[in-house]
Amino acid sequence: MNAGKTDVVVKLSTLLDLANLLPDDQKNYLIQNLLKQNNQTKNIQLPYSIFSTKLSCLETICKYLKEELNLSFNEMSELLNRKQITLRTTYNKTKQKHPKKFSSFDFQINIPINKLTNRKYTTFELLTIYLKENCNLSLNKIAEITNRNYKTIWTTYSRAKSK
């Protein structure tokens, strides 16, 4: 019996979670190979816990894709529907703002990267919409997860819904 698409994503996210227990060089090698072998680069799942820093959503995504999944700027460009130079500049500024790697990941809630690529909305609007509508989280919980003020979340969600 073949595994369904959700089974593959669950298994991959579990493997990614376990990979965090390995030393960095082994972890990066394992993650990169898992994604390529499973052809999952287009179906990358971002752990919600990475969005709790003071970085913008795009900065957070760039940092995660570059440092944790070891993707090239070309691969990131294809995934995020953005120019390579934009992502390179964003990542370089992120390294100055947050030089340390992300410490840990919580895969309780995963955000598919393809849900954050619609250029009609900001990345933060897309994240807020996804957490509210697909994960059924309250705006209060989203504020807590993203380490943002409730009013910021309310405004972002309202603005996105009116577009």
Q: Give the amino acid at 54.
A: K
Q: Are residues 32 and 70 in the same domain?
A: yes
Q: Are residues 163 and 127 in the same domain?
A: yes
Give me the domain span that covers residue 62.
Answer: 1-105
Number of domains in the chain: 2
Residue 53 lies in a domain: yes
Read off the pLDDT of each residue in 53-76 and give the average, rounded to a whole number. 92
Given 57, 80, 105, which residue is the final one in a domain?
105
Burial (Cβ within 10 Å: 0-12, 13-18, ≥19) of residue 76: buried
The dihedral region occupied by 2, where left means phi > 0, alpha psi between -120 and 50, and beta the remainder, is beta
pLDDT in tens, 128-160: 999 999 999 999 999 999 999 999 999 999 999
Q: Are residues 95 and 131 in the same domain?
A: no
Residue 50 lies in a domain: yes
Residue 112 lies in a domain: no
The pTM is what? 0.72
Q: Are residues 160 and 85 in the same domain?
A: no
Residue 111 lies in a domain: no
Question: What confidence tier does 19 reach under pLDDT thresholds 50, 70, 90?
Answer: confident
Given 105, 130, 150, which residue is the final one in a domain?
105
- In the DSSP assignment, the letter for residue 145 is H
Q: Are residues 4 and 42 in the same domain?
A: yes
Q: Are residues 151 and 123 in the same domain?
A: yes
pLDDT in tens, 31-44: 666 665 555 556 78
